Each structure stands twice: as C-alpha cells, then as structure tokens.
Amino acid sequence: MCGIVGYLGKGRALEVILDGLRRLEYRGYDSAGVALVASGKLQVVKSVGKIRDLERRIWALSGEEAYHLGIGHTRWATHGRPNETNAHPHVAGPIALVHNGIIENYLEIRKELELAGYTFQSDTDSEVVAQLVRFYYQGDLFQAMGKAIDRLEGSYALAVISEEEPQVLVGTRKDSPLVLGLGEGEYFLASDVPAILPYTRRIVLLENWDRVVVNPQGVVVVGADGKKVDRPFQEITWSMALAEKAGYKHFMQKEIFEQPRALADTIGAYVSPAKGDIFFPEGELGEGVFSRIVLVACGTSWHAALVGRFWIEAQARVPVDVEVASEFRARNPILDGGTLVIPISQSGETADTLAALRIAHEKGARTLAVCNVVGSSIAREAQGVIYSYAGPEIGVASTKAFVTQMVILYLFSLKLGLVRGMLERGDVSWRLKEVLSLPRKMEEVLSHEEDVSTLARELYHVQDFLYLGRWLNYPIALEGALKLKEISYIHAEGYPGGEMKHGPIALIEEGLPVVAIAPRDVVYEKMVSNVEEVRSRGGQVILVGFSGDPLEQRVDRFLEVPPVDGTLTPFLTVLPLQLLAYYIADKKGCDVDQPRNLAKSVTVE
Ligand code: M6R
C-alpha cells in the first residue's frame, strides 16, 4: 500500500507533491512526509496522520519560494508503528527515498550495514533501502539505486533524490505500481495516474524492474536486462472529474451514484445490441474448451466471483471454483492446462491475487484477468484481460467496481455459453435486453435514497446487524455486511438464509436488525420462511424486495427495487445495502472514504 509522488521541473514541487499525495491518500493515511531539495540541501517534513496534518507543518520548510525537486509519501504501516520516525521520506546522508512495498530481506541487509557502521533511526524495511543506496552512492544516484535493488527481495516502488544531484529524480518498481508522467519541462512519478492527472495526461506505465532517471535533458528508462528501453506514453482520456468528488460529500457517495453510468459504459464496451452479441478482446475465450474455471479474488471482488459462479455454471455448464486468493496460494492448488484461472481485482495490484495469478502460470493454467485499472500488474501479467469501465474508484469501500465486475462475469457466462453451444442466440439476445435495462433500473433504486437515509438515522447507534440472502443474493448479504463493517465499524454478519437455523438464529433477540434480501426469484418462498423465523423471535426485519411485494406489510422496513429477471437481482439489491452502510457511517461521523486500518490497494500479503 502507501502512495508515492516524485517531481522534477519548474519549481512547483511542493504544490504538486502535496496535491498528488491528497489523491493517493486512499492507499494509506497513517503518516506522510515530503523531502525537497533547495540550495543544495535536503529539507524534510513529516507528520503522523493525514496529508492535512502534514500541511499544517509545512511552515517548517525554509520558506524557499520554488522547489524544483522533491518526493512525497503517504503511509500504510507494515513494518514499524505509524509515528514520525517511521514516516517516509527516509534520509540517509545526501539521499532521501520513498518506498511502497515490502522488502523481505531487510533484516539481513540491515545487519550487514550496521556492521559496516551505518546507524538506523526507524523500524522500517524502507530505511534499509535508503541506507543501501547511500552505501553504493558515489555521485551517481541512478547507478547506486540500480546496485541497491539488485540486493532486494520483495516488492517496491521507489522514488529517490540526492541533495548532491539537485536536478535528478530516479525511480524503479517491482510488484508495486509506478507511473511516469511527462509534462512540459516537468516530470512526475506516482503510484497511480489520478495523482498527477491535473498536471499531465501523457503517462508511461513502467514495467516491473524498470529503472527510470529524469534530468533536465529528458528521461531514460532501463529495463530488466540493463538496456535502455523505449516505453511509449499513453494519452489518458478520462476526465479529472471522474477522480474528484463533483459536489458529493464523499467519494463513496459519488461512486454509488455513478453505478448506472459505470455499468452502461462496461456493457457498451462489449455488447453489440444490434447484433445481439458480446465481443471480448480477440482470442480471450478461444474455443471455450476449459474443463474447469477458478475465480480468485479478495474482499468485494471475491463477492463478485461468488455471484459469477452461479452464472457461469448455469449458462456455460463449466464447473467453477471460487477462491479467496490468500487461501488459494497457501495450499498448493491443483491446476492444469484445462483450467482457466480468472483473477478479479479492481486495482489489479492486490498482492494475494497477483500471487495466485503467478501460481496459475507456474502450474500451466490459462489466465484471464478482470481488472479496472488499465496497465496494472494483474492486467499486464495475465494472458488476457477484460477491463471494467468503472473509472477511478477512490473510496476505500468498493461499490462501482463491484457492479462492473459482476456485469463482466455475466457477459462472460453468456459468451462462453454461446461458444460452448449451451445457449441459443435467442437466449442470449433476450438476456442482453434485460442487461441493457439495468442502468435505468439502478437509477430507480438510487432515487429512493431518502428512505435509506431515514432508516440509517434510526439504526446508526445499533451494535450488530445480520444480513441474510440465498442463492445469488447470499454473496450480496456478505457484501452488505462487509460494507457496513468496513466503513461504520458496526459488527455485521452475512449468512445464507438456509444456514440460519444451524447457528446464527441464536443471535436473534428483540430489535436485532436483520436485512433480508428477498427478491421474487427461485428462492423467494424460502426467504419468506426466514423472515417469519426472524419476526417470531423479535428481530427487526429490513426487507430488500421487488416493488409491490406483499411481504412489505409484514416487515419493519421495506427497501424496494424494481422487478428484474431473477438472475440479475444482485445488480439492484446491492444498491440499498451500499447506501445503508454509507448513511450509517456518515451519521456516525466515520471517515467514510478512508476507514481506519484499511487502504484501497492492498499490495501487502
Ligand atoms: O483491488 P481489489 O479488487 O483486488 O481489492 C480487493 C479488496 O481489497 C477490496 O475489495 C476490499 O475488500 C474493499 N475495501 C471492499 O470494499
């Protein structure tokens, strides 16, 4: 996790770095810092807390008007507590360095450097890298960084400066993201594109092992083999508005309301309504001859995978396993050339999902990623990729990425069903019609936000929630509970309705809020029984169901969604649950976009 920014150029280093760090706060926010070079001297300011806390301490800089060179960091602690000493940048002699990732062999290198007389201030693995660069430094920062990274095991994105080379910025990456921005006489390094988008749209996605050196003469990128490489830039076309709050109080709120647009864009990228067909990038499905599919992901993306399994098995008749990435990699999974492994990841940088993808390659499986971030590690390493078009998701709680992941899995199941001869063209065409109606129906659900916010005002003080769903809506129960937990810190459990009688029913007591997801689908009657079981034990039932459902009269609260084909309900039922979590967290005064202990992109194992 952690976010890094580097700048070399026209004298606005401080402004650009602070601005970039604000946009990277989603990656970590327990401490932050900047290092700038002025009059041949390093100046460093750090602070515990968020970027706004760092800004309050900027007075400590010497007051120079224009800084031409600098680096900055926002931290999510891995090694060492979140205090000022452990905050980045780490300084070693003339060197200052920021790091995102984990250095696995840092203790060994630290011991070696201590024996050579080096002293350490912090408990971090990152300071070891700074000291190692210093160890190799003989006036050429690029060379010293190259020697240092040859010693490192683990993951890193680094930006490094030296007060002895006030016109040089260097950086490198391995398994942690780093992009290079090309401006007019200005250069930027950052953990992701939105951090520097206000300053340039020309972006180079650096590859693993790339080393980059920037000076007033330009940029040189050296690849893994030590030879100069030509990495073409991409012109970023999406607007900055997508990465800003646009009048909403929080990114999460904005992203919830963007979902109809995100879904429409993703559908639009792959569906031809005229042809009644789906077109994925050429060759992604081949002949569809897989004996098995493994969906692998973490968190909310794992919930999307759980929903996707129903569709793929039903429509393409291929057995599907769904795996939590960290568990998958822990147990030497059985894979072969007949298995298609699909890693699903919004960020494309989640360490466990990336590791699962690599295991899949080692074992000879085929791979096809579902990712939201273009050029991310998972997108690049997989043999094929289907991108979602959610746009940048900034709120730590995933919302719009989730619905776009689901729609890709749905379209994938239809296409695979067609390719394998399990579905007729006619089946696909009426199902696509239903899919195309989803964005409008989502708008309709979101238009009832006031009902949800009223409910949130009544329930925000509650300690526990239970979420029940069956079949396609069991993963939605899990997702509703996860959303509430992560942003409001309220304990919530998601359960399959049928399992309630095997344990969780004991939790039900007078007034316990139970969110029952019961659209009129093949398991509706069974959910009705669950609702009655909860009511008879005094639980407070919040029903998510189709408009006009007669159960409305028998429950405490009713959150309606418009009727839709029974296999597509998750796209609608998840929306009131996202809104409920959002309004409860906001009412409680929680930091909705940056909940405690979390980070958007989990690049540690
Ligand atoms: O970027 P990814 O989709 O790989 O992220 C996976 C999880 O870390 C993520 O979904 C997480 O659970 C969210 N905070 C949930 O809202």
pLDDT at residue 598 in the model: 75
Assess whether 600 carries a catalytic annotation.
Answer: yes
CA 162 to chain centre: 32
Question: For the domain with range 3-237, which CATH number is right: 1.10.1060.10, 3.60.20.10, 3.40.50.740, 3.40.50.261?
Answer: 3.60.20.10
Q: Say if residue 439 is preceded by a cis peptide, omega within 30 of 0.
A: no
CB 192 within 8 A of CB 349: no
Q: List the Cα angle 246/248/250 in 5-degree steps.
A: 115
- Tell me which residue has its CA closest to atom 16 in ligand 1: 397
pLDDT at residue 243 in the model: 66
Distances (CA, A) of 471 to 416, 475, 524, 527: 21, 8, 10, 10
Give the pair of three-digit tokens for residue 333: 């999974």
Burial of 4 (0-12, 13-18, 19+ CB in 10 A): buried
Q: How far apart are CA 14 and CA 6, in angstroms?
A: 10
Q: How far apart are CA 396 and CA 591, in angstroms?
A: 10
Nearest atom of ligand 1 to the alpha carbon of 298: 6
Distances (CA, A) of 299 to 402, 407, 481: 10, 17, 11
The answer on pLDDT for 207 being more than 80 is yes
CA of 274 to the centre of ligand 1 (A): 35
Catalytic one among 174, 415, 485, 600?
Answer: 600
Determine which helix (DSSP H) or strand (DSSP E) holds 92, and give its type and residue range.
strand 90-92
Give the pair of three-digit tokens for residue 323: 């795996």
Q: How far apart are CA 308 and CA 314, in angstroms?
A: 10
- Tell me which residue has its CA closest to atom 14 in ligand 1: 397
**Given pLDDT bands bounded at 50, 70 and 90, which one contains residue 282?**
low
pLDDT at residue 423 in the model: 94
Q: How far apart are CA 428 and CA 450, in angstroms?
A: 36
Q: Which residues of 345-366 are buried (b: 16+ CB within 10 A; e: fewer)?
A: bbbbbbbbbbbbbbbbeeeebb
CA of 436 to the centre of ligand 1 (A): 26
Residues 323-361 have pLDDT tens digits of: 999 999 888 999 999 999 999 999 998 999 999 999 999
User: Mean pLDDT over all residues of the chain?
Assistant: 92
The answer on pLDDT for 287 being more than 70 is no
- For the segment 382-388, the average pLDDT, to the nearest whole number, is 93
Amino acid at 295: L
Nearest atom of ligand 1 to the alpha carbon of 600: 14
The answer on pLDDT for 393 being more than 80 is yes
Residues 472-499 have pLDDT tens digits of: 999 999 999 999 999 999 999 999 999 9
Nearest atom of ligand 1 to the alpha carbon of 350: 4
CATH class for the region spanning 444-593: alpha beta
Q: Which residues of 141-166 are buried (b: 16+ CB within 10 A; e: fewer)?
A: bbbbbbebbebbebbbbbbbbbbbbb
**3-state SS track over 38-58:** ECCEEEEEEEECCHHHHHCCH
**Given pLDDT bands bounded at 50, 70 and 90, which one contains residue 283?**
low
Most ligand 1 atoms within 8 A of CB, residue of 398, 487, 578, 594 to mutate? 398
**Given pLDDT bands bounded at 50, 70 and 90, which one contains residue 385?**
very high
CA of 302 to the centre of ligand 1 (A): 8
> Would you give the DSSP letter of residue 463?
S
Helix pair 400-419, 570-587: axis angle to 10 deg: 170
Q: What percent of the chain has pLDDT over 70?
A: 96
What contacts 555, CB < 8 A, 6 or more positions away? 516, 531, 535, 541, 542, 543
pLDDT at residue 337 in the model: 92
- Tell me which residue has its CA closest to atom 11 in ligand 1: 299
Residues 90-101 have pLDDT tens digits of: 999 999 999 998
CA of 163 to the centre of ligand 1 (A): 39
CA of 602 to the centre of ligand 1 (A): 8
Q: How far apart are CA 472 and CA 417, in angstroms?
A: 19
pLDDT at residue 130 in the model: 97
Give the pair of three-digit tokens for residue 535: 């009511």
Which residues are near ligand 1 (CB < 6 Å)?
A: 298-301, 345-347, 350, 353, 396-398, 482, 486, 602
The answer on pLDDT for 140 being more than 80 is yes
The answer on pLDDT for 216 being more than 90 is no
Q: How far apart are CA 101 and CA 439, in angstroms?
A: 38
The fold of the 244-436 domain, in CATH, is: Rossmann fold (3.40.50)
Q: How far apart are CA 399 and CA 346, in angstroms?
A: 10
Q: Report the candidate in 303, 259, 217 with the shortest Cα–Cα distance to residue 8.
A: 217
The answer on pLDDT for 602 being more than 80 is no
Helix pair 299-316, 400-419: axis angle to 10 deg: 20
- For the segment 132-147, the average pLDDT, to the nearest whole number, is 97
The answer on pLDDT for 543 being more than 90 is yes
CB 218 within 8 A of CB 261: no
Residues 8-49 have pLDDT tens digits of: 999 899 999 999 999 888 777 789 999 999 888 999 999 998
Residue 453 burial (CB count, 10 A): 16
* Bridge partners for 543 per DSSP: 516, 558
Query: Dmax over Cα atoms in the chain, in whole Å?
Result: 78
CA of 172 to the centre of ligand 1 (A): 25
- Tell me which residue has its CA closest to atom 8 in ligand 1: 299
Catalytic one among 2, 298, 371, 590?
Answer: 2
Helix pair 299-316, 474-488: axis angle to 10 deg: 170
Q: Domain extents for the chain?
A: 3-237, 244-436, 444-593
- Tell me which residue has its CA closest to atom 4 in ligand 1: 345
CA of 437 to the centre of ligand 1 (A): 27
Distances (CA, A) of 360 to 325, 330, 355, 538: 11, 13, 9, 48
Assess whether 2 carries a catalytic annotation.
Answer: yes
CA of 301 to the centre of ligand 1 (A): 6
Q: Report the candidate in 605, 487, 572 with the shortest Cα–Cα distance to residue 307.
A: 572
pLDDT at residue 548 in the model: 93
> Would you give the DSSP letter of residue 11?
S
CB 475 within 8 A of CB 409: no
**Given pLDDT bands bounded at 50, 70 and 90, which one contains residue 192?**
confident
DSSP reduced 3-state for 311: helix
Nearest atom of ligand 1 to the alpha carbon of 300: 10
DSSP string, 241-268: GGGS-TT-SSHHHHHHHTHHHHHHHHHH
**Given pLDDT bands bounded at 50, 70 and 90, which one contains residue 273?**
confident
Nearest atom of ligand 1 to the alpha carbon of 405: 3
pLDDT at residue 503 in the model: 86
Nearest atom of ligand 1 to the alpha carbon of 378: 4
